[in-house]
Amino acid sequence: MLNIKMPKINFGKIKVNTVENFGKLDIDYEEEMKKNDRTRRNKPYEHTNYKTVKEFFYKSCNEYADRQCILEKPDHKTPYKITTYKEFQQDANALGTALIKILNQKNKKVIIVGETQYGWYVSYMAMLCGVGIAVPVDRELPENEFENIINRSKATAIIYSPRKADDIKKIKENIPSVEYFIEMKSNKPLEGKDVGINYLIETGKKIIESGDDSFEKIEIDPEEFKVLIFTSGTTSRSKGVMICNRNLAENINAITAYVKLYPTDMLFSVLPLHHTYESTIGFLYPLSQGASIAICEGLRYIVPNLQEAKPTAILTVPLLVETIYKKINEGIKKGNKTVVVNSMMKVTSVLKNMGIDVRRKVFKEILDNLGGNLRIIVTAAAPIEPKIGKWFSDLGIYFIQGYGLTETAPISAVTPDYKLNVGSAGKTIWQADIKVDNPNADGDGELMIKSPTLMLGYYEDEEATKEAITEDGYFHSGDIGHVDSEGYVYITGRIKNVIVTQNGKNIYPEEIEGLLAKVPEIKECFVYGKAPEGEAAKKKDKMELIITARVIPNKDEIEKKYGKNLDEKQIYDIIWDKIKEVNKKLTSYKAIKALEIQEGEFEKTSTLKIKRYKEIQKDAKAVKSEK
């Protein structure tokens, strides 16, 4: 569980001088056309064929030993500290050696929990390269859920961040099966069950220096169960997903065919590492290419961190992208530059179609707000309004979307950087097959995935595994959508979210939510089918589910337009008037019939998806009314 409140992001004054002085830019149009001809392509890149994580990790460490690998800020005022590939490999090997030789954790399960930091990366890599089974856990889990996962996983050690120290102390007595508690950023010598990770690394180095290279020589079976991830889930109790090295390596093989990354690239890590999206694509992928990773200190530091690290790529979720989009455009609007920016986007798009791509030169000052070097934004985990993706593309950024689940570790589809398709969830990866089961009249049905990235199964749950994976190897994704003739995937909704009317029509809440998301007065929302209450519930002819929108108002926007000190009823009426406008765009059976106003924030997963099943169980603590 993760209750996220987006911080106020301030980019300062947005400059657009280069846009206005387009005619004065030093542009060699002939050279730009030649450059575009040289880089234009319409087919996949030559992809890798790795079998294990250790294979590509050691390869990168040998080829890029002295290049920067991990960048982390010791504190807010100190510049980024750089760890090279050579140093990172030495630390991972040393930790792996100590975990096996000192703590006897070979082939055991080790939980890794904490905010993104160097110790997390080292721990995960040590596990993948030969120790045992890594169990990444959401650091935001409440004590009871954390304790439950420790017991369910049968973990024998926990590697935790200092911020989790108090939580660990509270539950220590309840988890006697845990043999060791290893604190990140700590030099504490082994004392009983407690030890610092730095102590283990230094001890491991001494063992290696004595001539013991047994950890480095451990051979990895690509099919061996190496990672256990408990899904956060937005609809049900979490399941334990069993991942092997082959699953992770095939993710790398998939992406290298569609997205080109260079050793000079730098990924900016914003999302939590316990999720496969970040740990696989945001960590393992750049390492496989000799690129580097800069750690964001937290969302409230995202602007200064971007401007200091100057990354070339970022993995994120729609909520953060939408926030950045809104904040930059607010700055452009304050400077009365909206018209000129939009006009130049049209001009540069025409030039690009002619083979002259000058977008990054024209919009340099806008891009400088994101560090200046950002060329790739990858977003996944939820839908995003196509116009936002197009806007970033018009700036000269590759706006890439991905699709997958924890069960596919995670990638099943990703947008090729050589053929962007804003609006789709990506193109089916070259090793996989995604088919549509039982499509309706619009061609939408459940997406079934067959891929080498697909999990081994659910941990200690053979029945759930058989329900999820067909005999011929197709996984029931639970997502509704379709696949076009080129393999691009389009998501309509989730099976468990579908509202079925009494006459058998299916209503996908995500479609309605997409329209509501365009309403400035609405900050966040979700749509669900609410059972009738009171007298209506007693009447059989009134048992139709009520299409209900639960909304968190955008009070800043409402105050700007309608004034301050509005009461709940006035805010309700403003939102309802906007919903009536949305209803005009929907067929009658999809129309929203009820509105619930909610204060505060929705409960979310670690990838910022609303936990619908949790929210629906709650009562809306504000004005309610059926219309």
Q: State the amino acid at position 64 in one-letter form.
A: Y
Q: What is the mean predicted confidence (pLDDT) over 410-435?
A: 95
pLDDT at 623 over 70: no
Between 134 and 318, name the one with better pLDDT.
Answer: 134
Whole-number pLDDT of residue 521: 94
Q: Which segments of the chain belong to CATH 3.30.300.30?
A: 498-626
pLDDT in tens, 253-262: 999 999 999 9
Comparing CA positions, the residue from 419, 451, 420, 423 lying closest to residue 435 is 451
- CATH class of the 53-258 domain in this structure: alpha beta
Q: Where in the chain is the domain with CATH 3.40.50.12780?
A: 53-258
Beta bridge partners of 490: 482
User: What's residue 6's pLDDT?
Assistant: 63
627 pLDDT more than 70: no
**Region 415-420 average pLDDT:** 94
Region 89-93: mean pLDDT is 98
**pLDDT tens profile 541-560:** 445 788 999 999 999 999 99
Give dist(CA 232, CA 618) in Å, integer. Answer: 19
Please state, in angstroms and rounded to a whole number, the distance separating the CA atoms of residues 599 and 622: 7
Tell me the pLDDT of the chain averaged across its residues.
Answer: 90
Enter the pTM of the model: 0.84
Q: Report CA 382 to chain centroid distance, whole Å.
A: 9
pLDDT in tens, 71-87: 999 999 999 999 999 99
DSSP for 261-299 reads --TT-EEEE-S-TTSHIIIIIIIIHHHHTT-EEEE---G
Of residues 60, 198, 221, the one with CA closest to residue 130: 221
17: buried, middle or exposed (CB in 10 Å: 19+, 13-18, 0-12)?
exposed
Best CATH choice for the domain 498-626 from the list 3.30.300.30, 3.40.109.10, 1.10.540.10, 3.30.470.10: 3.30.300.30
pLDDT in tens, 562-593: 998 899 899 999 999 999 999 998 878 889 99
